[in-house]
């Protein structure tokens, strides 16, 4: 807990929001742990973690700005930092921290306020959709019209907003490309989303080409499915794991993530 509290203080300026869920039935016991760790993030006593089952403690779940789960980690897997009394461990694995960085790289944060202002000036459905991370392709066309025909102030605002949206799009595309090997299902999902949100723009065209190529390749589709199952293994209980392992053995044993899952299972059984 102290390590996570320290991590949250350093990361909050990046847009990260940490929410803790404690299972202690007694509120006083939970408060004692929180106060000792000097945690400043919100903590609730009891409840459910949306979209997933908690198979053990601690469980870390990373959500994107759209509310969808980006990554999960069961158990504390971080490396201790510092020395002596200053030695702390935030509990986060290298893989989970990489997932956080990629999520931040693809998050729409820079221009949300500008989109809000733009939406107040127009009733178009494209501006409304853009506030939710969609419809950027058509919105860019509207902004280009404003840049060409608007007043000096309107042109300046439109150009700034267009630049921010394109910067987001290029960063998100790069982040999606980097996920191809380590997380093929996330790579697939991000390209699909970019193809939709930037439809009509070259970013959307590039993402669509990648998405269609992945969708057509049978072996790639199997690898993506296996990667999804492998991720589920990291958070499910022992009973659910047996079902997933049977599914992997039947359909995906020859895939990269299928072999990794079965190898880890065999190692666990021997230990």
In the chain, where the domains are located: 2-97, 112-216, 219-270
pTM of the model: 0.60
170: number of Cβ within 10 Å:
11
Residue 74's H or E segment, with its range, is: strand 69-74
- 3-state DSSP assignment of residue 218: helix
Q: How far apart are alpha carbons 262 and 106 in whole angstroms?
A: 32
Q: Which two tokens stand for residue 203?
A: 């970013």
250: number of Cβ within 10 Å:
9
Residue 105: strand pairing partners: none
pLDDT tens track for 105-142 = 655 444 444 454 555 555 455 555 555 556 788 888 88
Q: Which two tokens stand for residue 210?
A: 């990648």
- What is residue 108's predicted lDDT score, i.e. its pLDDT? 47
- What is residue 123's predicted lDDT score, i.e. its pLDDT? 45
- What is residue 85's predicted lDDT score, i.e. its pLDDT? 52
Nearest alpha carbon to residue 90 among 10, 202, 2:
2
User: Tokens 């987001």 map to which residue?
Assistant: 168
- 3-state DSSP assignment of residue 71: strand
Q: How far apart are alpha carbons 208 and 79 in whole angstroms?
A: 39
Residue 63: strand pairing partners: 69
> Who's near 244: CB < 8 A, 6+ residues apart?
229, 232, 233, 236, 261
State how far Cα 188 lies from the chain centre.
13
Low-confidence ranges of the chain (pLDDT < 70): 1-2, 11-15, 23-31, 34, 37, 41-42, 45-57, 65-66, 78-90, 104-134
- What is residue 128's predicted lDDT score, i.e. its pLDDT? 56
């Amino acid at each position: 807990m102290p390590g996570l509290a320290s991590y949250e203080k350093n990361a909050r300026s990046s847009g990260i929001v940490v929410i803790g869920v404690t299972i202690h039935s007694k509120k006083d016991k939970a408060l004692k742990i929180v106060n000792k760790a000097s945690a400043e993030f919100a903590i609730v006593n009891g409840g459910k973690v949306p979209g997933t089952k908690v198979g053990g403690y601690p469980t870390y779940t990373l959500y994107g700005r759209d509310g969808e789960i980006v990554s999960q980690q069961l158990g504390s897997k971080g490396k201790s930092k510092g020395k002596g009394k200053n030695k702390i461990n935030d509990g986060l694995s290298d893989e989970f921290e990489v997932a956080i960085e990629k999520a931040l790289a693809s998050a729409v944060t820079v221009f949300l306020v500008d989109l809000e202002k733009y939406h107040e000036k127009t009733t178009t459905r494209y501006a409304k959709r853009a506030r939710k991370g969609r419809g950027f392709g058509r919105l860019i066309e509207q902004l280009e019209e404003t840049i060409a025909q608007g007043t000096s102030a309107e042109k300046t605002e439109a150009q700034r907003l267009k630049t921010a949206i394109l910067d987001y799009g290029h960063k998100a595309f790069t982040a999606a490309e980097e996920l191809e090997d380590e997380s093929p299902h996330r790579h697939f999902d991000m390209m699909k989303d970019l193809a939709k949100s930037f439809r009509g723009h070259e970013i959307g065209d590039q993402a669509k080409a990648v998405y269609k190529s992945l969708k057509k390749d049978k072996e790639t589709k199997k690898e993506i499915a296996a990667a999804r199952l492998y991720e589920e293994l990291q958070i499910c209980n022992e009973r659910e794991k047996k079902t997933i392992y049977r599914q992997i053995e039947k359909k995906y044993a020859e895939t990269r993530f299928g072999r990794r899952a079965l190898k880890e299972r065999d190692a666990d059984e021997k230990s």
